[in-house]
Amino acid sequence: MTSAIVPLESLLDLPDHARLLGLDLGTKTIGLALSDVERSIATPLETIQRVKFGLDAAALLKIAGKYQVAGLVIGLPLNMDGSEGPRVQSTRAFVRNLAPLTELPIVFWDERMSTLAVTRTLLDADASRAKRAAVVDKMAAAYILQGALDRLARLADDAFGPETA
């Protein structure tokens, strides 16, 4: 059982009605978001409190199985200049350790500005500090996943032509 890190385009080949799970990997939590079966809308799902890799991976894969997820979209925390720092190295290490435990394809998605964008949205909504802390990780995961879903839709339009109603 080994998954592969694949380009986003390969997710176009997934079976119909297969969901994707978006992840925002933090040092203390993993924010999760789930796509709808049409793979057009990302919804914040939950936050896993990180303990140690084995427990974190087991919790993640249990959720993936529960929702019949067909692929993982993992935020890659690049620096603003596009370079890779310690957080990217940590994310890549997590994925290297996760890959042998699942057959799900894994896609990296540039997550620059995701937490900032979500935090600004929550501030604009006048959410309290406690409320922001409770939801920011899973909302960042939804932001990451939505970006990937939007790109997949554009790729599908380019490859197959826009759907006609």
- Domain ranges across the chain: 22-160
* Residue 63 scores a pLDDT above 90: yes
pLDDT digits (tens, 9 = 90+) for 65-99: 999 999 999 999 887 788 888 889 999 999 999 99
Domain 22-160 is in which class? alpha beta
Instruction: Inform me whether the pLDDT recorded for 2 exceeds 80.
Output: no
Overall average pLDDT of the 50-69 stretch: 97
Q: What's the whole-number mean pLDDT along residues 46-72?
A: 97
What is the value of pTM for the model shown?
Answer: 0.86
Q: Render the chain in DSSP notation, one character per residue.
A: ----B--GGGGGGSPTT-EEEEEEE-SSEEEEEEE-TTS--EEEEEEEEP--HHHHHHHHHHHHHHTTEEEEEEEE---TTS---HHHHHHHHHHHHHGGG--S-EEEEE-TTHHHHHHHHHHHTT--HHHHHHHHHHHHHHHHHHHHHHHHHHHHHHHH-----
> pLDDT per residue over 103-126, tens digit each?
999 999 988 666 666 666 656 666
- C-alpha neighbours within 13 Å on the C-beta side of residue 42: 28
